[in-house]
Amino acid sequence: MAKKHYSIGLWNMKTLFHCSVVMFLVGGLATLVFYRNNNQVAGNVNDVKVTLITKTSTTPANENENMNTDTNRIVSHHQRRLKIPPPSLSLTDTCDLFSGRWVHDNKSHYPLYKEDECPYLNADLACLTYGRKDSKYQQWRWQPHGCDFPRFDGKAIVERLKGKRLLFVGDSVNRNQWDSMMCMLHSSIPGKKKLNMGGLNHTLYSFRSIDYNISIDYYWAPMLVESNGDDPSNHRLDHRTIRINSIEKHARHWVDADILVFNTYLWWRLPIIKFLKSPGSLLGGPNQVYDEVNNVRAYKKVLEIWSKWVHSHIDPAKTKLFFMGLTATHSRAADWGGKKQGTCYKETEPVMDDQFWESGTDPKMLQILEASLNKLKAKGVNVQLMNITQLTQCRKDAHPTVHKKIWHPLTDAQKRNPERTSDCTHWCLPGVPDIWNELLLAHIFPVTETASLYKQR
Torsion 242-232-199-315 (CA) sign: negative
What is the longest distance spanned by two Cα atoms in the chain?
Answer: 122
The one-character DSSP state at 454 is -
CA distance 195 to 129: 21
Give backbone dihedrals phi and psi of 333, rounded to 5 degrees, phi first. Answer: -65, -25
- Burial classification of residue 86, based on how many CB atoms lie within 10 Å of its CB (0-12 exposed, 13-18 middle, 19 or more buried): exposed
Q: Give the active site residues.
A: 172, 423, 426
Q: What is the mean pLDDT of residues 87-112?
A: 81
Average pLDDT over residues 44-68: 33
Best mean pLDDT range from 46-50, 54-58, 431-435: 431-435
Is residue 61 predicted with pLDDT exceeding 50? no
Q: Amino acid identity, residue 26?
A: V
CA–CA gap between residue 165 and residue 202 (Å, rounded): 19
pTM: 0.79
Question: Contact 144/95 with Cβ under 8 angstroms?
Answer: yes
Name the 3-class secondary structure at 219. Answer: strand
Identify the pLDDT of residue 442: 94
Strands 241-243 and 272-276 turn out to be parallel
Find, among 90, 60, 56, 51, the residue nearest to 72 by Cα. 56
- Enter the DSSP assignment of 207: E
Reported as type and span, the H/E element at residue 81 is strand 81-82
User: What mean pLDDT value characterizes the chain?
Assistant: 82
Task: Tell me the C-alpha distance between 18 and 13, whole Å.
Answer: 9
pLDDT for 280 equals 64
Angle between helices 172-185 and 432-444 (to 10 degrees): 80
pLDDT value at residue 91: 63
> For 352-397, how does the pLDDT look when each residue is reduced to its tens digit (9 = 90+)?
999 999 999 999 999 999 999 999 999 999 999 999 999 999 999 9
Q: From CA 427, how far away is CA 126, in angstroms rounded? A: 9
Least confident of 64-68, 134-138, 337-341, 368-372: 64-68
| 152 DSSP 8-state letter | P
8: pLDDT strictly greater than 80: no
- For residues 292 and 279, the answer to whether their CB atoms sit within 8 Å is no
Round to whole Å and give the CA distance between 86 and 83: 10
What pLDDT, on a 0 to 100 scale, did the predictor assign at position 81? 33
Q: Which of 246, 121, 102, 123 lies closest to 187, judged by CA?
A: 121
